[in-house]
Amino acid sequence: MTLAGFLLLLLTAACMAVANVLMKTGIAQAGGFAPRISAVLALLQQPAFTGGFLLTGLAALMWFRILSTQKLSTCYPLFISLTYSLITIGAFYFLHEKISAQKVLGLVIIIVGITTVARG
């Protein structure tokens, strides 16, 4: 994987992490979600949700660029691992979710794996 490819992948994962935190915040501000039109309309009125939704679209466009220039067998595992790690960190800092010692250990293992895959 090229350095430019890795940096774009990192930016894409960061966008997805921020998008998920924003959408979670917007859903909470809307009072939750149920599969009804009224619930969808309520979500669309929440700036956090709408921003997260738009950021997801931007991340998808960046992902398409990554797919066109990088090996899927390298970029997909890196993307999923980075996104998982960044979402967990974001949920801890911004949503005040608890993180167990077991989850921290898992994140450390994932980060070691990311480093190994990125170098290979």
What residue spans define the domains of the chain? 3-119
* pTM across the whole model: 0.86
Q: Is the pLDDT of residue 93 over 70?
A: yes
Q: What angle do CA 113, 84, 67 make, to 5 degrees?
A: 80
Q: How far apart are alpha carbons 53 and 119 in whole angstroms?
A: 32
For the chain, the C-alpha Rg in angstroms (whole number) is 16
> How would residue 17 be classed by pLDDT, with cut points 50, 70 and 90?
very high
> Which distant-in-sequence residues (6+ apart) come within 8 Å of 98 by Cβ?
92
The answer to whether 16 and 58 have CB atoms below 8 angstroms apart is no
